Amino acid sequence: MSRNPDPAEVLLTRRVVACVGAGGVGKTTLAAALGLGAARRGRRTLVLTIDPAKRLADALGVGTLGPEPSAIPRPVLERLGVPEGGALFAMMLDMKRTFDELVGRFAPDAAAQERILSNRIYQHVSDALAGSAEYSAMEKVYEMSARPEFDVVVLDTPPSAHALDFLEAPERLIGLLDSRVVQLLLHPAFSAGRLGLRLFQRGAHQAFQWIERITGFGFLEDVSEFLLAFEGMSEGFRRRAESVRQLLFGPETAFVLTAAASGESVAHARDLLARLAAHRANVVGVVANRVRLWPDGAKPLPAPSERKGWVEQLAAAFEAQAGAAFPARDAARAALDMLDSYAAAVARDAQATAPLLAEASLRGCFVRQVPELPRDVHDLDGLAEIERRVFAKPNDQEKA
Amino acid sequence: MQVRPLLERRLLVVTGKGGTGKTTVAAALALAAAARGRRVLVVETGRDENVPRLLGWQAGAVGYAGARTPAGPFVMRMEPYAALAEYLNVRLGVPAVVARLLRQRAFRQLMDAAPGWRELLTLGKVWHLEQAREDARARFDWIVVDAPATGHGITFLDVPRVVVSAIRSGPLRRHVRWVEELVRDPERTLLLPVALAEELPARETAELVKRLREQVGVALDRVIVNAVARPPFPPALPDLDQRLAALARTPGPEPAVWAACARHLAARAALNRHYVGEIAAGTGLPVVELPLLAAGVGGPADLATLAAKLLEAPAA
């Protein structure tokens, strides 16, 4: 499998690394660990996050993250082994604010901007319009990746109902702006004379009537006022959305997929992998997160049939240790139960993750397993531990 | 505070951060209620179907039409466009025209981009099923909705309120009001947040509960905390990890490995214990704990274990 890349190579050659996966699988932590890995290899790195992992931010010495990059202080970087020349920044994505900013950028004048921001429909829908939250996130990545002070931007993708919404967001926005319904609402007079559209218009007129009948009067008025306010901005939006799409699916962006060690999460991740491939996204790595693994250096447990006499041996050892008054046999049983339940958890996670890891390897991705840690990752040691696991060479992993 | 038994409600909406096991909880609840004679409906709102399999359904997708599972509950999956077609048919009464409209590319483009209607129609369908009668009684007397994950869960329940405030008049407004009344009726509807006893889910659950109280006004009376690890040793032997580490020889793995496994399990149990307390304090709600099943939730037997716990009155 020598053709499979390794994480260091990816972070040294790409401008954008996007961590994808369902909510709750540890994307934020992984994004932080990938960012740390890049910085440790001398790159000036920005981690864009959507999750205010407050204790981790505190540990990194950046306190409350805002919508502008905050630098991780030099003493912290030194503790984490980041050399001179390497740097690590973090910032929060405030998606609602970003969309308002976009309106500000593309509006032809202050009055148009005001008209949109105060439109009732905009106020209600800007959170959800055409995946605007996801689109705004992608927009911010584009903006940040163009800044000369960063070599690489690591993105913790927003938790969307469907993890690919954000990828499809530019396309959906372009599709909406180009759609004939919107064109018609914007330019009814302009399009009336064209034969192809005339046929359509009859249908559209009918559609509008129905919408009016279903929703009640006034609703479409607000919608078309909203769309009219967008007139003059749509071209700017369109061009920008196209650039964002080219960045995401171009050679400068790599995707790293994360899954938790459960059947549900793995099924979801495999579905995501297939859909990313269909978009021709460059998926370079798959990380199974919070996997229960044997401790370093342990061999798998022998089969129960080969464990005869273990209770007696353990009980004897406890008795030798603590004397005859100690309930050695109870302790031996409890210890064996403990080891059995640990083994069951390891077996379950291995079984759950195997199909994903096999598929990822076939697709030429790097494959890593990050163990479940005894504590939440909210300190430097925890983050360094994850970074070590992700950047370990695969054969180190097998030994681990 | 006396908490009303879950079985006395009509509609339970289960939500939580991704990976908390809310689908498992929804399936376990359905199984428990069906076993007690309720006519149960489960509505899945995600793209994947997971509940039918948990309830012993082996055939293909149950889809929007739904199917009765071997374990008893009827399960359906929300498909927004199917619900839209159904609603338009009821409103307009001309199925052929509706079908043509839904096939129109321009209409699809507009709807694909339009926000909120999927959530609205999902709730509308739930309302419709809640009202449905069969043989002179309610067709379903207990409905469980496996709602979208947390952030989207709020949008999901808040859409009726937003629509009512955005639309000035007309039949849609009236219909949405009925849905809004169902969501806010504490006699019928209860929201069940599902959390994990870890830092981020604990904090997110506290925020969810706060926003639901302030913004949506849906009834809440407990939080379900899933996958709570038990301490690996009996209380009489709390220091077994240290004793294992100090042994000269152990059968099988080295003493250090025995001790490392023990320490890991003990640390996870302590972590969970801590965040169960944080969740109770952060939400001000009683907590129902579900045990972590080391080998995962495999099938109906595991679900039954969880179901029994779920129907217990929560610890105040």
**Cα(B31)–Cα(B20) distance, integer angstroms:** 19
Nearest residue, CB atoms, B251 vs list A23, A181, A314: A314
B108 in a structural domain = yes
Amino acid at B274: H
The region of weakest confidence among A85-94, B102-111, B285-294 is B102-111
pLDDT band per the 50, 70, 90 thresholds, residue A195: very low
The secondary element (H helix, E strand) that includes residue A315 is: helix A310-322
**Cα(B154)–Cα(A176) distance, integer angstroms:** 26
Residues from chain B contacting residue A297 (CB–CB below 8 Å): 254, 256-257
Based on its alpha-carbon atoms, the radius of gyration of chain B, rounded to whole angstroms, reads 23
Residues from chain B contacting residue A215 (CB–CB below 8 Å): 167, 170, 172
B194 in a structural domain = yes
Q: What per-residue confidence (pLDDT) applies to A144?
A: 93
pLDDT band per the 50, 70, 90 thresholds, residue A232: low
> What are the structure tokens assigned to B86, written together?
């159904």
Give mean pLDDT, residues A318-323.
93
Residues from chain A contacting residue B18 (CB–CB below 8 Å): 22-25, 159
As a whole number, the mean pLDDT across chain B is 88
Nearest residue, CB atoms, B247 vs list A217, A317, A372: A317
Give mean pLDDT, residues A18-37.
88
Question: In 3-state terms, what secondary structure has residue A24?
Answer: coil
Dump strand ranges (E) for B188-229.
Answer: 189-196, 223-228
pLDDT band per the 50, 70, 90 thresholds, residue A193: very low
Can you give the pTM of this predicted structure?
A: 0.83
pLDDT band per the 50, 70, 90 thresholds, residue A120: low
As a whole number, the mean pLDDT across chain A is 80
> What are the structure tokens assigned to B253, written together?
């793995």
Q: Closest chain B residue to A220 measured between Cα atoms?
A: B167
pLDDT digits (tens, 9 = 90+) for A49-82: 877 667 778 778 888 888 889 999 999 999 999 9
Q: Which of residues 234-263 of A touch B (CB under 8 A)?
A: 260, 262-263
Phi and psi, residue A370, nearest 5°? -105, 125
A127 min Cα distance to partner chain B (Å)? 8
Q: What per-residue confidence (pLDDT) applies to B223?
A: 96
* Chain B contact probe: residue of A93, A265, A342, A346 with most B CBs at under 10 A: A342
B55 in a structural domain = yes
Spatial CA neighbour of A33 closest among A90, A78, A84, A75: A90
pLDDT band per the 50, 70, 90 thresholds, residue A355: very high
Contact across the interface for A25 and B256, Cβ inside 8 Å: no
Nearest residue, CB atoms, B106 vs list A22, A181, A222: A181
Contact across the interface for A262 and B296, Cβ inside 8 Å: yes
The secondary element (H helix, E strand) that includes residue A44 is: strand A44-49
CB atoms within 10 A of CB A380: 16
Query: Token match 């920005």: residue?
Result: A46
pLDDT digits (tens, 9 = 90+) for A244-256: 888 988 999 999 9
pLDDT band per the 50, 70, 90 thresholds, residue A130: very low
* Chain B contact probe: residue of A264, A306, A336, A349 with most B CBs at under 10 A: A264
B90 in a structural domain = yes
B245 in a structural domain = no
Percentage of chain A with pLDDT > 70?
A: 72
Contact across the interface for A301 and B253, Cβ inside 8 Å: yes
Residues from chain A contacting residue B103 (CB–CB below 8 Å): none
**How far is the CA of B44 from the CAs of A246, A294, B47, B208, in angstroms?**
35, 36, 8, 20
Contact across the interface for B166 and A176, Cβ inside 8 Å: no
CATH number of the domain to which B154 belongs:
3.40.50.300
Residue B140 has pLDDT above 90, yes or no: yes
For B55: left if phi > 0, alpha if psi spans -120 to 50, otherwise beta; the answer is alpha
Exposed / middle / buried, residue A363 (Cβ in 10 Å: 0-12, 13-18, 19+): middle
Please indicate if any CB of chain B lies within 8 Å of the CB of A384: no
Nearest residue, CB atoms, B104 vs list A51, A203, A330: A203
For chain A, the domains span 7-179+243-296+352-399, 304-345
Helix axes of A132-145 and A165-178: crossing angle, nearest 10 degrees: 100
Domain that holds residue B56: 6-229+282-311
Residue A138 has pLDDT above 80, yes or no: no
Contact across the interface for A175 and B113, Cβ inside 8 Å: yes
pLDDT band per the 50, 70, 90 thresholds, residue A400: very low
Residues in chain B: 316
Looking at per-residue pLDDT, the higher value among A395 and A376 belongs to: A376
Phi and psi, residue B224, nearest 5°? -95, 125
Contact across the interface for B110 and A179, Cβ inside 8 Å: yes
Phi and psi, residue B278, nearest 5°? -65, -40
CB-based contact B17:B204 (threshold 8 Å): yes
Residues from chain B contacting residue A330 (CB–CB below 8 Å): 234, 236-237
B267 in a structural domain = no
Give mean pLDDT, residues A225-241.
69
Q: What per-residue confidence (pLDDT) applies to A216?
A: 52
Q: What per-residue confidence (pLDDT) applies to A357?
A: 96
Residue B97 has pLDDT above 90, yes or no: no
Residues from chain A contacting residue B113 (CB–CB below 8 Å): 129-130, 172-173, 175-176, 179
Phi and psi, residue A62, nearest 5°? -110, 0
The region of weakest confidence among A181-195, A337-351, B256-270, B274-288 is A181-195
Based on its alpha-carbon atoms, the radius of gyration of chain A, rounded to whole angstroms, reads 27
Give mean pLDDT, residues A298-310.
86
B160 in a structural domain = yes
Residue A394 has pLDDT above 80, yes or no: no
Domain count, chain B: 1
Residue A203 has pLDDT above 70, yes or no: no
Residue B311 has pLDDT above 60, yes or no: yes
Q: What per-residue confidence (pLDDT) applies to A49?
A: 85
DSSP string, A221-251: HHHHHHHHHHTTTHHHHHHHHHHHHHHHHST
Give mean pLDDT, residues A331-356.
94
Spatial CA neighbour of B241 closest among B252, B230, B232: B232
Q: What per-residue confidence (pLDDT) applies to A197?
A: 42
Q: What per-residue confidence (pLDDT) applies to B114?
A: 67
pLDDT band per the 50, 70, 90 thresholds, residue B78: very high
Please indicate if any CB of chain B lies within 8 Å of the CB of A118: no
Residue A399 has pLDDT above 50, yes or no: no
Measured in whole angstroms, how far is the alpha carbon of residue A54 from the centre of its chain?
Answer: 18
Give mean pLDDT, residues B269-275.
96
Q: What per-residue confidence (pLDDT) applies to A191?
A: 42
Residues from chain A contacting residue B105 (CB–CB below 8 Å): 180
Give mean pLDDT, residues A327-338.
95
Using DSSP bridges, classify how beta strands B74-77 and B67-68 pair: parallel, antiparallel or unpaired.
antiparallel
Q: What per-residue confidence (pLDDT) applies to B59?
A: 87
Pick the CATH number of A7-179+243-296+352-399 from 3.20.20.210, 3.40.50.300, 2.40.128.50, 3.40.50.2300: 3.40.50.300
How many residue pairs from chains A and B have C-beta atoms closer than 8 A?
Answer: 218
Nearest residue, CB atoms, A307 vs list B151, B252, B271: B252
Q: What per-residue confidence (pLDDT) applies to A132?
A: 62
The region of weakest confidence among A210-219, A366-375, B224-233 is A210-219
A118 min Cα distance to partner chain B (Å)? 13
Residue B200 has pLDDT above 90, yes or no: no
